[in-house]
Amino acid sequence: MLVAIMSRSMKLSLWIAVLLITSGCAVSVADKSESRALGREEAQDTRLGRAIAHRLEKHPGQSGIYTLADPQDAFAARALLARVADRTLDVQYYIWRGDVTGTLLISELHAAADRGVRVRLLLDDNGTSGLDDELSRLASHPLIEVRLFNPFALRSFKSLGYLTDFSRSNRRMHNKSFTADNQATIVGGRNVGDEYFAATEGVLFADLDVLSVGPVVSRVSADFDRYWASDSAYPVEQVLNSEPPSSSSAAWQDVTYSGSHEAAARYIEAIEQADFVHELVGGDLDLEWACTRMISDDPAKGLGEIRDDTTLAHQLGEVLGRPERKVALISPYFVPTAAGVDALAALESRGVEVTVLTNSLDATDVAAVHAGYAKRRKALLDAGIQLFEMRRLSSSEPDGRSAGPFGSSGSSLHAKTFAVDGERLFVGSFNFDPRSMHLNTELGFVIESPALSQSIHRAFGDVIPLRSYQVHLDENDRLYWTEQVDGSEIRHDQEPNTGWFQRAGIGFLSILPIEWLL
């Protein structure tokens, strides 16, 4: 009996060793086809190009911005851009779910290719779980190419890649963009999945994207090109090494309705009812025109091959300049570190008002990240920084009020934006945490718009206090939380809506040396 157990144990150990060795093998690098974003003259000779040409002439050097806070509008905008594209679609995401909204958008990409549109889809491989068949099917289309960023060689046990190739696997492409005909693009915080578009009964995310036209779009396209050609982007055929499933129309109809028929129908209806892309094509969409700068990390960051002084975080500091009056920061995963606390405290010491909104422990979907923030709360409050923590919200608040410029429904904050001096703001994928600063690649816009910037500042004065807890220190240096309910202020001496075990877990995580990973 003992011999049999030892034999089975040795076989199991051998099997695990093989898995570890296999997952550590680098994916083979073969020649990749070269392609570029649509050229300027070709891009102008499209429906989108012709529609916005006269408006660009009236706003030289500026880009048109349309905010997408509502989740169903954000979904519809992507689907409609796919439908109006004449020549190209360049799509880049960190996460793409195989759920209702994910499969609907896959179907839109396939339908665009059937019309003759060239589609390039670049996904971070950490966020493609369960999609291998769909990606193979997409890539089998003659006008669709799919590439994976920092892919895992082992498909069924991806997490083992972190054990054998941690330094590379720990670096992910967090960028998010959806660009049609090099004329219009959507950039912001949303990934592709039901929780980002309010199509699920589980955790929903309050988020923010912007639809943009004008000079900034060509910069997004050029950035996509360098990621597409980077050493970290692998053609999906080299990674999956499997025969693609059928690419017939019937197969794609099955993919489209693989989730809930009712939910799919609801989002198809949202596409049909959305007017703003049709207004864009008709030249009637009300856009905010502003000087807009795209900033992003070099894709070499995915291999750890860039200096800190060239990162998006460094560029962001240069572009935003020196705040003079106020900074309003919204970040779902806020891990300031000791250096960040010092930097924010220095702003306060100069008379700059600093306010921060992040997730409460009750609302966050990543407890370890909350631990990295929680250990810095007292130091932030001591420095005079105002802290707000978003409550876990229902998908429809009873009073019907908007949750502000970062989204109108959701149970967890996911928007990444901050405003400076009521004059400019950042919108993108960047979180104020060590992972965004040093490990993941990021993308975003700095928009010189007093109207948009001031809307963020105003939210901290009216809407945000109604949707969050404000954190305070009492005379004994103990934390407490207040919330506004029906015109009254309620005080909590423990983190609201949490249990002892949950708080103890956060306390334990906060003492571990993991802050650099968060």
Q: What is the pLDDT of residues 499-509, one digit of tens each?
A: 888 888 888 88
**469 pLDDT higher than 90:** yes
Task: Please report the pLDDT score of residue 457 as a whole number.
Answer: 93
From the CB of residue 122, how many other CB atoms can be counted at a distance below 10 Å? 23
Mean predicted confidence (pLDDT) in 91-96: 97
From the CB of residue 80, how many other CB atoms can be counted at a distance below 10 Å? 23
Q: Report the distance separating Cα 345 and Cα 382, nearest Å.
A: 9
Q: Which tokens go with 147? A: 């590439």
Task: Please report the pLDDT score of residue 165 as a whole number.
Answer: 78
Catalytic residue among 301, 326, 370, 416: 416
Cβ-Cβ contacts under 8 Å for 488 (sequence gap 6 or more)? none
What are the pLDDT digits (tens) for 372-389? 999 999 999 999 999 999
Catalytic residue among 90, 99, 174, 326: 174
Mean predicted confidence (pLDDT) in 412-437: 92
Q: Report the distance separating Cα 238 and Cα 240, nearest Å.
A: 6
Between these two residues, 284 and 118, which has the higher pLDDT value?
118
Between these two residues, 319 and 209, which has the higher pLDDT value?
209
414 carries an active-site annotation: yes
Q: What percent of the chain has pLDDT over 70?
A: 85
Mean predicted confidence (pLDDT) in 48-61: 95
Interhelix angle for 100-114 vs 132-139, to 10°?
10
Task: Name the pLDDT band for 1 (thresholds 50, 70, 90).
Answer: very low
**283 pLDDT higher than 60:** yes
Per DSSP, 318 falls in state H
Look at residue 462 and give its three-state secondary structure.
coil
416 carries an active-site annotation: yes
457 carries an active-site annotation: no
**2 pLDDT higher than 90:** no
Backbone region of residue 497 per phi and psi (left: phi > 0; alpha: psi in -120 to 50; beta: other values): left
Task: Name the pLDDT band for 258 (thresholds 50, 70, 90).
Answer: very low
**271 pLDDT higher than 90:** no
Catalytic residue among 73, 414, 433, 457: 414
Task: Please report the pLDDT score of residue 486 as a whole number.
Answer: 87
User: What average pLDDT does the structure give for the chain?
Assistant: 85
Task: Name the pLDDT band for 261 (thresholds 50, 70, 90).
Answer: low
Interhelix angle for 100-114 vs 249-256, to 10°?
150
Mean predicted confidence (pLDDT) in 19-35: 56
Between these two residues, 327 and 408, which has the higher pLDDT value?
327
Residue pair 331/432 in contact (Cβ under 8 Å)? The answer is yes
Of 14-28, 436-450, 489-503, which range is least confident? 14-28
Mean predicted confidence (pLDDT) in 262-287: 83
> In three state form, how does the secondary structure of 421-448 look?
CCCEEEEECCCCCHHHHHHCECEEEEEC
Between these two residues, 415 and 408, which has the higher pLDDT value?
415
For 405, how many CA atoms within 13 A lie in the half-sphere containing its CB? 27
Q: Report the distance separating Cα 102 and Cα 95, nearest Å.
A: 10
Considering only the C-alpha atoms of the chain, give the largest distance between any 2 of them, rounded to a whole number of Å.
85
Angle, alpha carbons 334-340-343 (nearest 5°):
135
Phi, psi of 469 (to 5 degrees): -100, 140
What are the pLDDT digits (tens) for 342-371? 999 999 999 999 999 999 998 888 888 899
Alpha helices for 115-191 (secondary structure H): 132-139, 160-164, 166-169
326 carries an active-site annotation: no
Task: Please report the pLDDT score of residue 45 as a whole number.
Answer: 95
Of 92-96, 114-118, 203-207, which range is least confident? 203-207
Q: Report the distance separating Cα 332 and Cα 101, nearest Å.
A: 22
477 carries an active-site annotation: no
What are the pLDDT digits (tens) for 66-82? 999 888 899 999 999 99
**Sheet with strand 292-296: strands edge to edge:** 292-296, 443-447, 424-428, 417-420, 326-330, 353-359, 386-390, 468-473, 479-485, 488-492
Between these two residues, 103 and 9, which has the higher pLDDT value?
103
Task: Please report the pLDDT score of residue 203 as a whole number.
Answer: 57
**15 pLDDT higher than 50:** no
Between these two residues, 15 and 417, which has the higher pLDDT value?
417
Beta partners for 186? 178, 211
What are the pLDDT digits (tens) for 171-184? 999 999 999 999 99
Q: What percent of the chain has pLDDT over 90?
A: 59
Of 165-169, 311-315, 322-326, 428-432, which range is least confident? 165-169
Catalytic residue among 181, 207, 297, 298: 181
Q: Report the distance separating Cα 244 and Cα 75, nearest Å.
A: 27
Q: Report the distance separating Cα 71 and Cα 230, nearest Å.
A: 32
Q: Report the distance separating Cα 388 and Cα 481, nearest Å.
A: 9
At 225, which amino acid appears? D
194 carries an active-site annotation: no
Between these two residues, 444 and 155, which has the higher pLDDT value?
444
Catalytic residue among 110, 176, 301, 375: 176
Backbone region of residue 127 per phi and psi (left: phi > 0; alpha: psi in -120 to 50; beta: other values): alpha
